Structure 1
């Protein structure tokens, strides 16, 4: 493939421009002329970046997004390339652009965050498992031990890699379970928070304080909060004034709250 003439000149057969354009870029001070030359170098090498992006086209990402990521890698390569260390820009740019694309897949395309080590294990396990299945006479469902032996990993690492195979993309809560026709969606099988759990904790917290109260105060609390009786009804039943019942309720609750907080501390 013959590329168009770029900054610094290109040969008809070699896509690599001479280092003159990059040397000039390093020599120019910040300003409009340097930015213009930098843009020309990036545009001249953009087809190479797009070709590298096309190698990743079958991994579920839109081609436009991959080209954008590759272009970002190319810009980094142009900014960092030192022509005094290497005559061929391409030998520096290709790994830089490829690395940028791999970082994009590692950091931006997983629905579930997975540590880089686990991602690497996933890739090794997936490739080894595929090779074992495709091998003539090989197992159709390789065991963890077989994958570990072929990949040079421990069975624990293989297990982690296998678990990560399902972490790349998330399953919708409205989706039916795999392999179950007409099954109940996951969203309908999820439990809900039980508010009674907090009530159970509170009841256990006040038990020691309740034992310390006088019998009359315990009865008033029981009638109010378990019998759902009004203060007036409690007063009539016990032969007390409603104001007296209100005062006893307030004092009892404050004492229980103080004892519960003291025990928690």
Structure 2
């Protein structure tokens, strides 16, 4: 009978998964008429019985920069949540528990793979911007502008730009790590849906790391031009500089990014090629901000 965990074989095969599903069904039926203290005991029995199942899911994600012990702890948290929320009418326990556990693991990686500190509110906004960008791109058949994203999310444009800029601090390098063992798959193959742009992920990861070596003004101009879909004239008006100056800044930043992707070249402004930021501090903020 389920509950005698000392004599029950942990599920480790297809037959074991069937046993776990049967145990979960028995648990759901038993707790209906139990007093609260007995329910906790039954719940702990099912959690203990399913621990090997959670451990196997956690081990699928080892070797990606996080200690296995941490991943197993996260998997246990997902398992407990699955036991607490399980509804037999929605399908098998193992299917539901796997989704819940893997979801917790993915969330753990998402929260731990930021190259710089980003406040939680801004991280949430970055995700919302990404979802809105995908939706608007599908609707408009082109990349949305910052103004369109601002309207869709009911968020000020400055916050949208801050989210786009901070997105460069996200480091998805762990997605390229091999699964390990005899598999040739990568972690990215196990997370999310297929991405037609996956072939360029190495370049995007490299650029994400390099962008933080650019001055604030260059980062913001790149975000406005390529994420916000704004023209050079619009950017020039925003910063109160000439369009030719914007063109030079874009060209310089893009040239360095291309060179730095091939070799660890220092940014040109560190070699005295560009004017010191301290002498152009008044130009590193939009004209509207300087007017206030």
TM-score, normalised via structure 2 length: 0.41
TM-score, normalised via structure 1 length: 0.44
Larger Rg, first or second structure (1 or 2): 1
Flag the structure with more relative contact order, 1 or 2, with Cα contacts below 8 A and sequence separation at least 6: 2
Select the structure that is richer in helix: 2
